[in-house]
Amino acid sequence: MNIARVSSQIFLGQPAGAFKLTFRLLPRGLVMENIAPAIAPPSGMGERKSVNKAVLTWVHEVESLTAPENIFWCDGSEEENDYLLGAARRQGVVIQLNQEKAPGCYLHRSNPNDVARVEQFTFICTPAKEEAGPTNNWAGPAETYDKLHGMLKGAMRGRTMFVVPYIMGPPASPLSKIGYEITDSIYVVLSMRIMTRMGALASEKLGQKLDAEFNRGVHSLLELDPERRLICHFPQDNTIISVGSGYGGNVLLSKKCLALRIASYLAKKQGWLAEHMLILGAESPEGEKHYIAAAFPSACGKTNFAMLIPPKHFAGWKITTIGDDIAWMHFGQDGRLYAVNPENGYFGVVPGTSYKSNPNAMRAIERDTLFTNVALTSDGSVWWEGKDGDPPKTATDWKGNPWTSDSKEKAAHPNSRFAVPMRNNPVLDPKVEDPAGVPISAIIFGGRRSNTMPLVFQAFDWNHGVYIGATMASETTAAATGAVGQVRRDPMAMLPFCGYNIGDYFEHWLQAGPRLTNPPLIFNVNWFRKDADGKFLWPGFGDNMRVMKWIIDRCEGRGSAMESPIGFVPRAEDLDLEELEEVSSEMMRDLMAVRSNEWEKELAGQEKFFETLQPYVPKELLAQRKALAARFGR
Ligand code: GTP
Ligand code: SPV
Ligand code: MN
């Protein structure tokens, strides 16, 4: 008999015999190893059923379809988490790290074929293709439900079906949303407890009303076969179905699926904004405080910017974090934009994180952290490229293979991640639970660009700012599968996350301006411009404070700038560059240069991008493009 694709996931790093293999018969007649064997919780554990009949009916439907061995209702308690961690260890799903060095920390290794978001397998399933628009993969809802139900049929046989209730946003906020994720992955449950407000408080908030709104998420690992991997969104039904993956944004359905794709659709309909943005607070030594939101594409610096520690020269400044990835923003009665962070934790890029680059993140991940795909050292700690100090001589790499410091392969996967509760962040902003959110003074767009884009510039006005966001581009990173380092347009850092027609999304942004009597000012930054030798010109990280200071000065109406074809740009003397020896005035010139040969290419790139979106590009943005070209004398 054919043993099909034995997954390596549960073998990795585990002593032989650490768990019992269970086999099961698949509909196709193949015998396969069960990669997520059912757990047998003690009585009283996992029994906290929902009191909402609509939830019960739906859970029962999914149960009938997937045929799990048992159902585990998650309540989010400490005891439950301890039990699930134990079960996950016994199954080899997580490895407990050295508890003296890393209390509460665990390591998970995903299947090597499953290490990043899969944009090619991500679908928006709306009745009309036009609703999904030119940037999304589309499939019709009826046929997609059929297909997915076919894949899910009996998929949880021999497995436990976990039911995970969660809240996105401060529980008392009118913006907050409730979701339920059904999953057969313990790793997903453990992660959801960190990343969301998970458990009984969510089911209590939903209450008993039959028509109470909640997102229905169904996830199954299936067999982790990349050819049977699909992430499907049904915005009209507030439903998500994800199959065949066990990794990150593909399966933590609260995050990109609900808080961005579904939420952006709802936001358009209901008149608010769901954005791929960090939110930070910046308080001057004089006690003047501003909140700033920034949209950078995946792996382009949101988490780092949200937690930055200013250089010594900025003593007295305090930077605090509201969120590191997603902002839900609404229009306040005072004509300002207010933002909440829907999440409860950070799912951050590990490589490059060090006490030098991001000390606050390092302190946060000293405990209670679930690492995915980093290297394991002989003393039971974790290591990754870019961590402080010398690399260990030997380690176990992210795939579970022996690794030495001479190895050519990376010890940690470039998209390895930490999941850590936001409470661990030493600079968590005190207003993070404020139901009203925080008022946003500035919106920053930014991408990873080796050339063309200066360190910082400011939009002339709201509509110009929307144009800057809409034409943003960035070099691709390891956060999604596919080629790395290729410049692609990524409007507002939402290309993979906008759950509806991008033309309507642009229109929504344009209409937001006039609704705000006191709109945030809009800026663009680029921390990643390189010199002729391919070295970053700007030190980045904490020194990004220098750019933020200018942005705040502009918000206060006191920073000076010069007008250029692309917007207002600071002269070197407008930025506070004291005690920044590593950047010469020549480098500063290169960082700030607006070169017409580069912009010629850029303009052509923007035009080409808009052509791919036609006929949906709002007229105002076409007019903005013309005006920009004209300012370059074209
Ligand atoms: P997602 O979680 O994928 O949305 O990523 P993110 O936008 O939060 O990016 P993150 O802050 O995790 O940074 C991604 C990578 O960029 C890491 O390897 C960082 O070390 C690096 N990085 C972040 N900020 C800077 C910077 O200012 N300069 C340079 N050169 N690199 C940076
Ligand atoms: C991103 O890719 O923007 C992330 C990581 O934040 S994931 O949650 O996997 O989408
Ligand atoms: Mn992100």
Atom of ligand 1 nearest to the CA of 351: 18
Residue 246 has pLDDT above 90, yes or no: yes
- The verdict on the CB of residue 413 being under 6 Å from ligand 2 is no
- The verdict on the CB of residue 323 being under 6 Å from ligand 2 is no
Confidence bin at 369 (pLDDT 50/70/90): very high
pTM attached to this predicted model: 0.95
Atom of ligand 1 nearest to the CA of 353: 20
Residue 328 has pLDDT above 80, yes or no: yes
**Cβ < 6 A, ligand 1 pocket:** 296, 298-304, 324-325, 348-349, 351-352, 357, 479, 527-528, 536, 540-541, 544
**Spacing, Cα 597 to ligand 2 middle (Å):** 34
Calpha distance 442→369 (Å, rounded) = 32
**Spacing, Cα 474 to ligand 3 middle (Å):** 14
pLDDT given for residue 33 in this prediction: 82
What is the number of the ligand closest to the CA of 530?
1
Q: Residue 500 is encoded by which pair of tokens?
A: 């509806």
Amino acid at 591: L
Contact (CB, 8 A) for 613 and 464: no
Helix 502-515 / helix 619-631 crossing angle, nearest 10 deg: 80
Residue 13 has pLDDT above 50, yes or no: no
Upstream peptide bond of 565 is cis (omega within 30 degrees of 0): no
What is the number of the ligand closest to the CA of 526?
1
What is the number of the ligand closest to the CA of 540?
1
Contact (CB, 8 A) for 386 and 357: yes
**Spacing, Cα 480 to ligand 2 middle (Å):** 8
Amino acid at 431: K
Residues with CB under 5 A from ligand 3 (ion): 298, 325
Using a pLDDT cut of 70, give the percent of the chain over it.
95
The burial of 200, by beta-carbon neighbours within 10 Å (0-12 exposed, 13-18 middle, 19 or more buried), is given as middle
Q: What digits encode the pLDDT tens for the residues 390-411?
A: 999 999 999 999 999 999 999 9
**Spacing, Cα 579 to ligand 2 middle (Å):** 35
Q: What digits encode the pLDDT tens for the residues 90-124?
A: 999 999 999 999 999 999 999 999 999 999 999 99
Annotated active-site positions, please?
300
557: phi > 0 → left, psi -120 to 50 → alpha, else beta; which? left
* Nearest protein Cα to ligand 2, atom 9: 249
**Spacing, Cα 540 to ligand 1 middle (Å):** 10
pLDDT given for residue 127 in this prediction: 98
Q: What digits encode the pLDDT tens for the residues 493-543?
A: 999 999 999 999 999 999 999 999 999 999 999 999 999 999 999 999 999
User: What DSSP string runs through 394-445?
Assistant: EEE-TTS-EEETT-SS-SS-TT-EEEEEGGG-TTB-TTTT-TT-EEEEEEEE
Contact (CB, 8 A) for 408 and 259: no
